[in-house]
Amino acid sequence: MSAVLPVIDHSPAAAVRDPALLLQDGRFHCFHTTAVPDGDRFQLYLDVCESTDLATWSPSRRLCTSPLNFSSPGNVLRRGGRWMLCLQSYPIPPGQTWGGEDSRLWLMDSGDLRTWSAPRLLQPAGCQVRWTASRRQIDPYLVEHAGATWCLYKTAGQFGLLASRDLQHWAEVEPDRPVLGAADTPDGAPVENPCVVRTDAGGFALFFSPCRPGRGIGLAYSDDLRHWRDCHYLDFPAVPWAGGGPTAAMVLDLRRERGAWLMAFHGEQTGVGQHAHSAAIGLAWSDDLEHWRLA
């Protein structure tokens, strides 16, 4: 593997974004968004590719094809003997580049990581909080904690938080305030793409993407998923192949298997022939979650 090139790159035919990694039985599964230009519009798909060595990846296999533009997989959890994958719908209005107010959160399940159920909605009405009028919900990420499944998501450039005990009925945990947003970031940037890992101290580390030119990767810490502290940006290495910067970090604890933390991210690609969704996927390693080296 080389930091000079991404590890998964389908350009110029398509862009690959929003990696969600899972290691199972010695095989890495990278669920991701594939964005395909379609005239003056974009079609998004939910795909997955696999690898045993993180260097050579299988061709991407399509999991969802829909006008709803299912995409942005968050992560995969094992629950009740089945695998649960969270994702978004992202219908793009005519003449627009990004998903509209009817974007929502969904779940899919599988018994074998190959055959998946049809997506099912978490909240048909969308966001139900008092701190924004937007009903849009995107970028889900699931966390098991205190006997419940929690789901971080983005709306209005900030993170909301849902919780459920049965994966059927979901409630807003903080209806009166976002759990993390522009008021918390060092430069006032809105946030997206949450990813949560457990720390050795028993708490949580939240990786997120600031919505700003040059992107970057942020990090904050919490003991309860509701209150976050020490919100800062990583001094992340420059990514030679991503002129728009790194973003959408997804982190796995591979200290037992590989001796370090592994991050997958997508790098925004800029320049001649590129478009708003142009991106490819790269990898990085860390010993402490704070300092990263490109793979």
Does residue 294 lie in a domain region? no
Average pLDDT over residues 262-286: 91
- Amino acid at site 124: P
Does residue 4 lie in a domain region? no
Class of residue 131 by CB neighbours under 10 A (exposed 0-12, middle 13-18, buried 19+): middle
Task: State pLDDT tens for residues 132-173.
Answer: 999 999 999 999 999 999 999 999 999 999 999 999 999 999
Task: State pLDDT tens for residues 73-110.
Answer: 999 999 999 999 999 999 999 888 899 999 999 999 99
Does residue 2 lie in a domain region? no
Q: Enumerate helices (H) and strands (E) in the chain, giving the number of each.
A: 0, 20
Does residue 227 lie in a domain region? yes
| Cα 247 from chain centroid (whole Å) | 9
> Contact at 8 Å (CB) between 46 and 35?
no
The pair of structure tokens assigned to 112 is 């074998």
Return the ∠ at Cα 161 (arms to 155 and 163), rounded to 5°. 140
CA distance from start to end of the chain: 6
Does residue 91 lie in a domain region? yes
Does residue 92 lie in a domain region? yes
CATH number, domain containing residue 218: 2.115.10.20
Q: What is the DSSP secondary structure assignment for residue 116, as one 8-state letter?
A: B
- Residue 198 confidence (pLDDT): 98
| Maximum C-alpha span of the chain | 50
Q: For the chain, give the number of residues.
A: 295
Does residue 225 lie in a domain region? yes
- Residue 41 confidence (pLDDT): 82
Hey, which residues does 153 pair with through a beta bridge?
160
CA 47/CA 45 separation, integer angstroms: 6
| Phi, psi of 165, rounded to the nearest 5 degrees | -105, -10
Token pair 């094809």 is found at 65
Q: Containing domain of residue 102, as a range?
A: 15-284
Residues near 226 by Cβ (< 8 Å), separated by ≥ 6?
161, 173, 174, 179
- Residue 38 confidence (pLDDT): 82
Domain count, the chain: 1
Task: State pLDDT tens for residues 7-44.
Answer: 999 999 999 999 999 999 999 999 999 999 887 788 99
Does residue 30 lie in a domain region? yes
Average pLDDT over residues 118-130: 97
Q: Model's pTM, two decimal places?
A: 0.96
CA 190/CA 212 separation, integer angstroms: 8
Token pair 């790098």 is found at 267
